[in-house]
Structure formats: C-alpha cells, structure tokens
Amino acid sequence: MELCAILLSWVFTLSDYQQVDNACPEMRMVEHSWLEERACDGRACKVLGWYPGSGDVVYLDDRMDLDNNIFHTSVAVHELVHWLQDKEGALLENCEQSIEAEREAYNIQSKFLVEYGTYYPVGAVLPMLRCEDQPAEDS
C-alpha cells in the first residue's frame, strides 16, 4: 500500500489528477501467462501490467522488480493512471477514447521516467493503434 501511495503522488504531481478519497488500488502480482490470458485474449504478448477498466485491483507481472527497476515501477504508474481514469469517470465508450487514455497513461509514464533521470522509450505501440473505420451513415 505504501508503494501505491508514493506512485499515486507522482501521478498527481505529473498530471492534473486529484487524490481519490485517500484510496489506493491493490497492486496484485500475477504470472505473465495470467496477464496474457486476460489482457491479450490468450495470445502471447509483452504485457507487463493491466487494469481491467473497473474495480480496485491493478495487475502486474510477478517477474517485475518494483523496488529496484525504475522501468518496472513506471509500468505500475501507467496502470495507476488507468485506475484514476476510471475513478474520474473517463468514458471509454469508443476506440478513440481508449486510444487517448493509453496516450495519456504513456505520457505520464514517460514523465515519471524522465523525473528519475532515465530515458526509456515507452508507448511505441501508440502509432500502431488504429480504430476501425466507422461505416458511412445513410443519407
């Protein structure tokens, strides 16, 4: 819980988010295969963290060392941003809103890394995220 409070304070410092009732989600360490099953629809992927869009649990790959690896810690920051987005009522009703939520989480994650004097490119997947074209409306 202490780590969560520290990381949330970073998110508040690096963004416009405000504290949510002194709350912190549970940061649950799970096996990578568990994350792949849920976050990647059972496909092999490089997922390290996942927030399912509701609730008070952030899931993190149990191979990560949150105490000694700043990149791993930044993944937790990224997922905490998604938790805050949910708590503030972010509407992720369509693809564009979901991509914007990812963009914001990667931006805050990147700022966190820079504050620690580390450059590590995050969000490389963002340019590849695309929404399917909406069907043309009948006139």
Q: What is the pLDDT of residues 20-44, one digit of tens each?
A: 777 899 999 999 999 999 999 999 9
Q: Quick one: DSSP state of residue 72?
A: H
The span from the CA of 10 to the CA of 66, in Å, is: 15
Confidence of residue 1 (pLDDT cuts 50, 70, 90): low
Cβ burial of 99 (10 Å; 0-12, 13-18, 19+) is: middle
76-87 pLDDT, tens per residue? 999 999 999 998
pLDDT at 130: 77
Per the prediction, the chain carries an average pLDDT of 88
Q: pLDDT digits over 43-97, tens only?
A: 999 999 999 989 999 999 999 999 999 999 999 999 999 999 998 887 677 888 8
Walk me through the domains of the chain, giving residue ranges and CATH numbers: 2-127 (3.30.2010)
Write out the two tokens for 44: 């092999």
Residue 76 pLDDT:
98
pLDDT at 138 over 70: no
Q: d(Cα 112, Cα 67) in Å, to the nearest integer?
A: 15
